[in-house]
Amino acid sequence: MLPIVNALQHDLKLKFHSRIWLCPTAAFTSIPLHAAHPFQTKADRSKEPCLEDLYICSYTPTLSALARSRQMMKKHVPPSFVAIGQGQPGTGKGKVLLAVDSELELVRKLIPTTVNHTAISGGAATRAGALQALQKNTWVHLACHGKQDPTQPYDSHFVMRDQPLTLLDIMERDIPHAEFAFLSACHTAVGDEETPDEVIHLAAGLQFLGFKSVIGTLWEVDDAVTKHVVEAFYKNMFMDLEDGGVIDCTKAAWALNRATHAVKTQVPLEQRMVFIHIGV
């Protein structure tokens, strides 16, 4: 990343803390480029800044996907927020996620009272229940298991109580006002090693389906530390709303950048860098 940073600084004169978008291809799709750490050690043994100290990084699976998301941002509707959690996925569908209910409660407390908010979990967090919630709301927080299917990407899914909620299920529904999704689940932004350029993982899939701004994960998430990132993220995301502001999904990349800085003493590096932002 050092040659890229040099070009941004010296050739393009890009100001520090500006947004940059990474559109990796081939083997680079599986590398956490946004987390590039000190490029060099100085003579006094102090380390240079990390990439996340210099710029706010987002990803996009394709340039057309980013352009389409920006175009769709011109259509704005009053925001509504739903938190969907499934910590008891059922026999054979994955381990119990003990922190899901407390994560949903944490999100509830951080959402501004001016925003319409609902939550579904436990027995209500079924395939049909989740689909209905996605159709009715503009912002969604999903806390559950995520499963990537490398052979049939559209079968990649979120684990609900009864049946999986697949990308194909979401594609077949009309979700006209989707804006933001936080995928607090494992492996939601990782593609296939065999065909790395054919990016149809869960996070990219949601962006293709209309969500303008998505946070996903590159590998397994430790639900015991995820709450620290979630809390810091939403605090930054909603910090200015007391002054009459409106929630804005274009702040997500900045809020995630601030969150990963805030939890450095609580969350190990490999669990901080697992979260990435896709979209506007």
- Report if residue 3 sits inside a domain: no
- Residue 202 CA neighbour count, 13 Å, CB half: 31
Q: What is the pLDDT of residues 118-174, one digit of tens each?
A: 999 999 999 999 999 999 999 999 999 888 887 787 888 999 998 999 989 998 887
Provide the whole-model pTM: 0.90
Number of domains in the chain: 1
Note whether residue 46 is domain-resident.
Answer: no
Task: Say if 1 falls within a structural domain.
Answer: no
Assigned domain for 115 exists:
yes
CATH number at residue 178: 3.40.50.1460
Token representation of residue 173:
């529904």
Q: Is residue 50 part of a domain?
A: no
Residue 200 belongs to a domain: yes
Domain holding 263, by residue range, is: 70-279
**pLDDT at 242 (0 to 100):** 62
Query: Residue 20: pLDDT band by 50, 70, 90 thresholds?
Result: very high
Kindly tell me if the per-residue pLDDT of 197 is higher than 90.
Answer: no
Residue type at position 20: I
pLDDT digits (tens, 9 = 90+) for 229-265: 999 999 999 987 765 667 899 999 999 999 999 998 8
In a domain, 134, yes or no: yes
- 59 in a structural domain: no
Interval 24-53: pLDDT, tens = 888 888 789 999 987 777 888 887 888 999
